[in-house]
Chains A and B, each alone.
Chain A
């Protein structure tokens, strides 16, 4: 195994983490990562070094993840839950006002703090339930627009917008509890 192949092999845990975050299914994620690594090792001759090796491999993984989403599209149904209403009820009172005045969020400035903040952010994305998380990651990691998400998952645009809003509201709540409540003096 040459240096580049070893380097690609060393990306496996990171690729697995990303694939799981998007697919929320261990078997699908393993398939996507295996196929991505195989494609990267076979195609390493076409790697132009204009980008970093990791960026190139992650780009391949995105296509393999999308293949898995297409393959399992019918298993990815979403139903709104009482939990979604509970999140909204935690934020607003019945007349539509905020239950509590939102805090001013100071984004972390130091590199170490930034790294810890990104870990919390990723954990919060990980905590998004099933299909809500898939749709959110398609938007924020795969960088699909809503029309593309609708097409890939067979959902209406209204449904996708509603899911993305719910995901963002959950993410906000999670960051408030797990980061900003601890970082304010």
Chain B
């Protein structure tokens, strides 16, 4: 798949469980691509930031 397709799957993984062929597509694509693993790292950073923001706004941490 193209980077556009694979990065869409990386984003979709935040909101739904991917099926086996989608998970395989990501793994295979990551072997040959330098850009998509970086995109995934950005998505992970956003995940951490959103979790931190939610805790902060819910008053769960000082």
Contacts and interface: CB of A to CB of B under 8 A. Distances in A.
Interface stretch (A26-34, A38-46, A65-73, A92-100): A92-100
Contact of B46 (A96, A118, A165, A175): A175
Interface residues of A, number: 40
B60 A52 contact: yes
Interface in B1-33: 2-5, 7-8, 11-12, 14-16
B4 to A, nearest CB: 4
A172 B4 contact: no
A161 B12 CA distance: 7
The A interface, classified by DSSP as helix, strand, loop or mixed, is helix
Q: Taking chain B's interface residues, is the majority helix, strand, or loop, or is none over half, making it mixed?
A: helix
Number of contact residues on B: which range applies?
A: 20 to 34
B28 to A, nearest CB: 15
A117 B46 CA distance: 11
Contacts of B11: 164-165, 168-169
A94 to B, nearest CB: 10
B15 A105 contact: no
Interface of A: 14, 18, 52-55, 57-59, 88, 92, 95-98, 101-105, 107, 114, 117-118, 121-122, 139-141, 143, 146, 160-161, 164-165, 168-169, 171-172, 175
Given A54-B59, A164-B15, A172-B42, 13 more contacts: A18-B57, A52-B60, A54-B58, A59-B58, A98-B35, A103-B38, A121-B49, A140-B54, A141-B54, A168-B11, A168-B14, A171-B46, A175-B49
11 contacts: A14-B57, A57-B59, A95-B2, A102-B42, A104-B41, A121-B53, A146-B16, A161-B15, A164-B14, A168-B46, A169-B11
